[in-house]
Amino acid sequence: MVLVAWVLLAAAVYHVISRLVQFRQLLAKIRFLPGLRATTSLLGHARWIIPMRIPYVTHGANLLFDGKHALFKQFGLDVISIVSTHPLQALFVIADPAILREMTAARSRFPKPVEIYDILSLYGPNIVASEHDAWKRYRRICSPGFSEKNNRLVWSETVRVVTELFDIWVGKDEIVVDDALALTATITLFVISSAGFGQAIAWNGGEERPEGYKMSFKEVMHHMSTGVFTKIATPQWLLDLGPTEKMRNTNTAFKELGVYMSDMIRQRRESQHKEERYDLFNGLLDASEEEEEGELKLTDEELMGNVFIFLIAGNETTGHTLCYALALLALHPDEQEKLYQQIRSILPAGELPRYQDLRNFTYADAVLCETLRMFPPVFGIPKRAADDAFFKTTNDAGEPVVVFIPKGSDVLFDTAGLHYNPKYWTDPHTFSPSRFTRSDWPRDAYLPFSGGPRACLGRRFAEIEIIAVLVLFVLRFTIHVKDEPKYRSETEQQRRDRVLKSVSVLTLTPTGVSLVFKRRK
């Protein structure tokens, strides 16, 4: 036993020394670019197992968003390295607008590491989990679906969904919403269901289950949207066992969604009288029925894979951003009043907004932009260097620095670091929508939807939806943070931190937003 112990100890010592030598060689390879050093990788699973930061061991789940630009300030450079020993990896984290602009423009030199996104290919290949020729093909086919006619549909369906909610609230001068995220996620879910799938969902009713189904479409959408992380993080065998109600509902919803989509495809193809519809599903279905070089543009699996990814991306990011926007307006009544005054200048009689009014709601757009600046849905956008790359920049002392990124290195666009970079944003921690009303705001330092050819295809869909919701809510109600006795002794900063507390799940997620809507007289 003593001999075995000595052998194991010797092996452990050898491993440590060997890994330290390799670690030193890696640092030399990246020319000792300043940054963080730790045992585990920022991109690894350790951040979920140990969510808090332990210096030199793990970075935690929220390192980049919590740190914002402070990490870059610490090292005096807007490009830093995060080097780990297990795995042996150098990650380049970037908040330099010039470098990011060059990288987004040179898509082939910095492709997406698609293996990270395999978990999103639940129904089939899609535009998010693809690169190179496959991505080009999906982009070309999917782009026409995000048309002006679809934009109009998004607007009209958003107005319908919100006004139906207001009808439920009729007779109430004050509405308390303990979980604002649940409210905003439901609104965006109903809109994406209609403008994305062509399946309108009402606030009341809609629980009828077609013959052969275990869930109504409304139930499927609800359990799918609230259980997506459960689906991705849980092995299928465990979901099939169903030890919890959450797992059982999630498993059933994802299976049923596939059946619903298959039936929708079949019914559309068998229909003798095809309606002219402008939802995304039918737009992609039209494209899938066309031939290109003797083959269908999209197989059924690819159609379902892309519709699903637009559903997840559209609902998750839009619902969260809308929640942050309402919370920020509640915390800043002066900004809320500015927005209200502009809305009333456009709708003096308090009438419902029309799609043709959209371009005039400039302050609602500014509120949205400022919300996305402060709370970018995806604050770390991964890329990978296809070849050795050199970039010139300057450090905080004004000295020239050459950054070398070796072929195969992982790169992370740090949108939080970029959006809070004081070199480009005055008082970056202050909610100030008016900064986006000026023509000279720093566009290169703003990347909530990524950039270049891989910029988010559904950007306009989300913008139109959120602006419509903000206009409708602010026109009818004043928005307030819920007053709770247990928090009455907190400072304004403590209140703000509590209300805007966030965690990183699939995207940046608000966790503490409770609001009160008071009807305007």
Binding residue ranges for heme = 456
Based on its alpha-carbon atoms, the radius of gyration of the chain, rounded to whole angstroms, reads 25
Mapped onto helix, strand or coil, the DSSP state of residue 388 is: coil
CB 385 within 8 A of CB 405: yes
Q: For residue 124, which amino acid is it? A: G
Please list, in sequence order, all residues whose beta carbon lies within 8 angstroms of the beta carbon of residue 68, skipping any fewer than 6 positions away.
416, 417, 419, 420, 428, 429
Please give the annotated binding residues, written as ranges: 456
CB neighbour burial string for 427-447, b if at least 16 within 10 angstroms, e if fewer:
ebeebbbebbeeeebeeebbb
N-term to C-term CA, the chain: 83
Q: Angle 300-331/180-197 helices, nearest 10 degrees? A: 140
User: Could you tell me which residues are beta bridge partners of residue 390?
Assistant: 404
d(CA 11, CA 33): 31
Mapped onto helix, strand or coil, the DSSP state of residue 389 is: strand
Q: Angle 245-270/217-226 helices, nearest 10 degrees? A: 130
Site of tokens 């639940």:
122
Q: What are the tokens at 373?
A: 């600046």
Q: For residue 242, which amino acid is it? A: G
Please list, in sequence order, all residues whose beta carbon lies within 8 angstroms of the beta carbon of residue 370, skipping any fewer than 6 positions away.
328, 431, 432, 433, 435, 436
State whether the Cα torsion 154-160-164-169 is positive or negative. Answer: positive
- Structure letter (DSSP) for residue 120: G
CB 312 within 8 A of CB 117: no
d(CA 103, CA 405): 12
Helix spans in 208-279 (H): 217-226, 228-233, 236-241, 245-270
Site of tokens 């100890």:
9
Task: Please report which helix (H) or strand (E) contains residue 88, including its range.
Answer: strand 88-94
Provide, for the chain, the percentages of residues in helix, strand and coil under a 3-state DSSP scheme, each rounded to the nearest 5. Answer: 55, 15, 35
**Nearest Cα to Cα of residue 413 among 28, 54, 39, 112:** 112
Within 139-210, strands assigned E span 174-177
Distance of CA 238 to the CA centre of its chain: 27
d(CA 326, CA 335): 11
User: Could you tell me which residues are beta bridge partners of residue 518?
Assistant: 174, 478
Torsion of CA 267, 270, 271, 276, to 10 degrees: 70
